[in-house]
Structure 1
Amino acid sequence: MPISLIGLPYMNGIRQPNAGYSFALGPTVLLDDANVPAAMREAFDDVEVTMIDDVDEPGPRETGGDHRLLPVGAEMARILVQNIRLATLVAEARAKGRVPITSIGCCSAALGMAGGVGNAEGDIGMIWFDCHGDAKTPDTSENGWFEGMPVTTIAGKCWPRLRRKIPGFREVPEDRIITIGLQEQFSPTGRQGSGDALGRTVHKLDFEKHGFEQAIILALDDLLTRCKKVFIHVDVDVLDPTVLKPSTHTAPGGLTSEQLAKALELIGERFEILAIAWSAFDPTIDPRGPAVLVPLIVHSAEVAARSVANGKRPKSGA
């Protein structure tokens, strides 16, 4: 099964790190030839790498020459055209029978992932791994940061005109979303509303009640009654900081590498995985980043490829 590695090295629509975050550097580090591509070539015969690094501002291709439609310099215009490009490349990879595995600077690029898989037949679900729910709206956000709104946008609860400009985009209803992790809400220093999430949530209380694997299985088997195909978003701050501190947004109580790998396997046993995005890695914080993330990304590609190549027919499996 051929693999397409796609990088989107932007944060807030820009490539340059700012004073607080260097997420834009994450894709360039992970998709450096010596990291994910080299490891991926050991597992797959056909691996192509594409870095989307030429959409710093809307251009004539997106505006038709009328910049009033997408103003140059506007953050949301930049984010939109970057998501349009990502959606196009993910869709093209899928049309060629390739499995898209992406490294994206920030979670807002999940909109492009939704567009890229939107032409798949049948109902589609989304499985979201994150330390937080990313389920704010312009009306509920205290700081207006769009990175806190991708799940609600994909679910059709905000930004309707913007999201529908992304080719292939179709909303994923809340009952076809699972959010896994959400550990910041249980931290003594957790911010108010950090546990706000959409869809079925799976977190510390579920793990304590059912055990880790069974809690995941219960949520997946419930989702299986509504869809057979999913795309997966992994914000790497779902990992416990003792495993990796990928950003300043981490919180204790996250997943181990083994738990994340197992969760991906459980998904692949039940669903066809259309694409996987790995998000929000700041390589300036923790030098363990590539050593931790590269094997997980390769593993995710193997799981996704099996889910497609086997012509998987979903099964329940408690």
Structure 2
Amino acid sequence: MKLTLITACYDSGHYRDGLGKGPEAILASGIIDRLNASGHGVEIKDIGLVGESQGREIATGFAVCRAVAAAVDIACSEQRFPVVLTGNCLTAAGAVAGEQSKAIIWFDQHGDLNTPETSPYGFLDGMALATTLGLCWRPIAASIPGFEPVDPSRCVLVDARDLDADEIELLEDLPVAQVACEDLGKRLDDLFPTGKLRTHLHLDLDILDPDNIRVNRYATKGGPSPQTLGKALCDTARSLEISGLTISAYDPEFDPDNQVPMVVEHLLVDFLAAKEAIQ
């Protein structure tokens, strides 16, 4: 399978800092050699510095989305499967736009469903899924080339265990499906009865149980093991038309033994093998 790894090395508007160090740390681990050895023709695309407002979370966050949308669109036009390695979850909005995805599966310990009106912290990345579903930041999200909000009825939130009170209330009204990671595979036929919608997978690595492996400062107790997460990813690859993948939120500072890149490598290699098996 032809593959484009797109790196967006940002954390809340800051370039190559905090979570923004994660993409390059993953690449430096040897993942490219492993993917090539598995038969995937890998191309690397780094979006580099974007926008004119470095350090400004909102302006830079959406500039990253625009750059990622353009890079993903090129990859898709060349029939290359896009995998975006990024610091922030908001980047998924750019990937969805570039792929023209119509559904999304959001693997995350958080809901990312706050809005400027409900966010207790004003943290833009805590509004990432809300933005992708068209619940907030609509004018600036419309500046992302090709962006169309995903209908909430076509969204699955996997293993979100750390939700704010307003997110819990919102989910009582939204038709977003909530699923435990270990149950996802057996629910896919019900959640996606046609299986033919272009579906984006977003993977925030802090979904993983920090007792097994810690990826950043935000991780809270609970969550799946790498093996359980890997099975869920492979189940989706075998069942759905997956149009692309974002992998976010790895801060190497919290991984002194450099375990996370190896986990990402195994997850991605197994996922691509499962996807390739049905093509």
TM-score, normalised on structure 1?
0.80
1:104-131 deviation digits (Å, cap 9, x = unpaired): 111011111111111x6xxx21000001
> Corresponding residue for 1:88?
70
8 Å CA contact 2:62, 2:140 repeated in 1: yes
Change (3 A) 1:45 1:184: closer
Partner SS state of residue 115, structure 2: coil
Percent of pairs with identical residues: 29
> Corresponding residue for 1:35?
30
8 Å CA contact 2:14, 2:55 repeated in 1: no
Count matched residues: 272
Structure with greater helix share of residues = 2
> Corresponding residue for 1:256?
225
Instruction: Report the CA distance between 1:184 and its aligned residue.
Output: 3.1
Change (3 A) 1:113 1:218: same
Consecutive unaligned residues of structure 2, counting only runs of 5 or more, are none
Distance in 1, matches of 2:276 and 2:200, equals 13
Over aligned residues, Cα RMSD in angstroms? Answer: 2.1
- The correspondence of residues 12-51 of structure 1 with structure 2, limited to 5 A, is 12-17=12-17, 22-32=18-28, 34-51=29-46
- The correspondence of residues 64-103 of structure 1 with structure 2, limited to 5 A, is 74-103=56-85
Larger radius of gyration: 1
1:81-123 deviation digits (Å, cap 9, x = unpaired): 21111001111101111111111111011111111111x6xxx
Change (3 A) 1:227 1:152: farther
Find out whether 1:302 has 2:273 as its counterpart: yes
Q: Which runs of 4+ in 1 moved over 2 A?
A: 71-75, 191-198, 297-307
1:247-274 deviation digits (Å, cap 9, x = unpaired): 1111222111111111111111211110
Residue of structure 2 aligned with 1:145, choices 92, 112, 123: 123
Find out whether 1:161 has 2:148 as its counterpart: no
Partner SS state of residue 183, structure 1: coil
TM-score, normalised on structure 2?
0.90
Residue of structure 2 aligned with 1:230, choices 176, 199, 206: 199
Distance in 2, matches of 1:3 and 1:305, equals 12
Change (3 A) 1:23 1:72: closer
Find out whether 1:116 has 2:98 as its counterpart: yes
Instruction: Report the CA distance between 1:301 and its aligned residue.
Output: 2.9
Find out whether 1:104 has 2:99 as its counterpart: no
Q: What amino acid is aligned across from residue 224 of structure 1 in structure 2? A: F
Residue of structure 1 aligned with 2:215, choices 218, 226, 246: 246
Partner SS state of residue 284, structure 1: helix
Distance in 2, matches of 1:173 and 1:270, equals 20
Stretch of structure 1 that moved more, 191-200 or 130-139: 191-200
Change (3 A) 1:48 1:225: same
Distance in 1, matches of 2:274 and 2:186, equals 20
